A = this chain, B = another copy of it.
Amino acid sequence: MARISKKDKIFQAAARLFKEFGYQATSMRQLAKEVGLEASSLYSHISSKQELLAQICMSEANKYLEHMNKVMKEENDLLEILKNMSYFHIEVAVEDPVSATVFSDEWRYLEEPTLTEFRNIRKEYESRILHIIARGVNEEVLIDRDPSILFQTFLSSFKWIYIYNRPGRELDKEVLKVTITEVILRGMVK
């Protein structure tokens, strides 16, 4: 007996294809072939192609926000929070590169109302990191530069991992965590 349902299989295959070819370039027929069905049979399990993208993006977005909530409750030290966020981003990028890529690159093909919902969650998440960085600048823990620029540079440090880290040239997760976090924090810390 299969431990994962056919519906889950479809979602996993969809994420894989959305990552490899992009949402727009992935057809339902292609997805069906991937899970051993005819295209029409997919609609016994899901309601639309858009539903696939929506669920992948929203569950990923919530994952980041939930982790943030947890960290902010448990940790007060500014640099520890940033370090933790860095580690978490790298952890997700290495452990679930497929969902992370779709979340990062394909969300723009979300339709309303999911698009707005997604944007709101991401904005909430990002504004909290920005706020932490701005605090770091104020408290003279971080260098005295525009917090928005520091924030964007910080976040962009993680965005190459899920693309680069493909089978055959895997980088060690712990080395990635330590190295990237070291570089970006050394760059920003006073």
Question: Chain A: residues with CB nearer than 8 A to chain B?
Answer: 22, 24-25, 105, 108-109, 143, 145-146, 148-150, 152-153, 155-161, 164, 171, 175-176, 179-180, 182-188
Contact = CB atoms under 8 A, between A and B. Distances in A.
A187 B142 CA distance: 13
A31 to B, nearest CB: 16
Given A145-B179, A171-B148, A184 B25 contact: no
Given A156-B156, A156-B157, A159-B159, A180 B149 contact: yes
A145 to B, nearest CB: 5
6 contacts: A22-B22, A105-B105, A145-B183, A149-B179, A152-B160, A186-B186
B108 A22 contact: yes
A182 B184 CA distance: 11
B183 A171 contact: no
Given A22-B24, A153-B157, A183-B187, 15 more contacts: A22-B22, A22-B108, A22-B109, A24-B24, A25-B109, A105-B105, A143-B182, A145-B179, A146-B171, A149-B180, A156-B156, A156-B159, A182-B187, A184-B187, A186-B186
A47 to B, nearest CB: 21
Contact of A150 (B156, B158, B179): B179
Contacts of A105: 105
Nearest to A158: B156
Contacts of A159: 156, 159-160
A159 B148 CA distance: 14
B150 A183 contact: yes
A54 B136 CA distance: 44
Given A150-B183, A183-B187, A160 B156 contact: yes
